[in-house]
Structure 1
């Protein structure tokens, strides 16, 4: 069994913001795989199903981003999975809009949700899929930027990224993270 966790902030005011791209990815995974996100437990909204031939739990922590580790820890403890059996999906401002980067370990890179997960797990060795949301404009506050919605011109890239995340998760579950990294960690070149 795997647990796939998308990071974001609960409540409507954060819907469709850069920081909630992890929640959007979980919604896409649920839709693509006919999984109902209909259970509230472990400080998360969850759904059970199958992806890539594997049993999965999809989860959207409801703790707010900076406390995501609380929910992740509860999920891991309850379902008795290892840190190698989780995938965390979240936003990354160091990547171009829509670009994916899959990693099996690494620092938080300034992301407070990941920092909290690392603190609760006592390790940075877990699979993660970063979705590029672009760097903040020069005169913007970082919090204002990540809590802003995507402009219309970026929406096609985000839709495509969410489709790729769905395929990347299936690849990770079926073939492993290294195969997925080789397939999805490519920067798109616009010609």
Structure 2
């Protein structure tokens, strides 16, 4: 039975590991959505990266259920390119440990690591794509920069809105959206997933022209 399952996976385009990727001769991408594990943090502002990965996985028919690299991951293709979808389970502030482990295992170039995460400087549902940049106060990105040793990796920022003046930042990003904002965010997750596909299949410039500043 296991042999039949392995054959079906290969027919569907899912790799068994590094050797198959190298023999294929194609570039490998990692798309990592940031968030915090456990039900306690589901659907919070800080977990929008996880939700984008869920939408992308559904669009591509990828199961993000394999455990490795201190996270959950799944394998598939976008535009003919082999792709790893990754949800680090290290908690946000240690996201770099998971991303680095996957990048080292598959020997992925830093410019082929796409990070999706929340941004309080953007309006709810607004997207911004960048090919490099600083952490901008985001601890998950700060940790990824430390582990990768570079700021030069592409990212998709998903706006969650600025915090109220009297509210603590940690409390705000760990809170959930209002019913109205949640509806907006559902559209943003879909657009962010489309942006990932365009970045890989057509290039970051086209994705930036299409999605930057757009609000779902």
| TM-score bucket of the superposed structures, by smaller chain | over 0.9
Count the aligned residue pairs.
189
Q: Where does the alignment leave 5 or more consecutive residues of structure 1 unmatched?
A: none
Instruction: Tell me what 1:100 maps to.
Output: 127
* TM-aligned CA deviation for residue 167 of structure 1: 0.8
Moved over 4 A (4+): none
Please, what is the CA RMSD of the aligned residues? 1.1
Instruction: Tell me what 1:23 maps to.
Output: 50
* TM-score normalised by structure 1 residue count: 0.97
* TM-aligned CA deviation for residue 188 of structure 1: 4.1
The one-character-per-residue Cα deviations of 1:21-66 (angstroms, maximum 9, x if unpaired) are: 0000000110111000120000010000112322110000000000
The equivalences for 1:102-141 within 5 A come to 102-141=129-168
Instruction: Tell me what 1:62 maps to.
Output: 89
Q: Where does the alignment leave 5 or more consecutive residues of structure 2 unmatched?
A: 1-27
Q: Which has the larger radius of gyration?
A: 2
The one-character-per-residue Cα deviations of 1:104-139 (angstroms, maximum 9, x if unpaired) are: 000100000000000111110000000000000111
* TM-score normalised by structure 2 residue count: 0.86
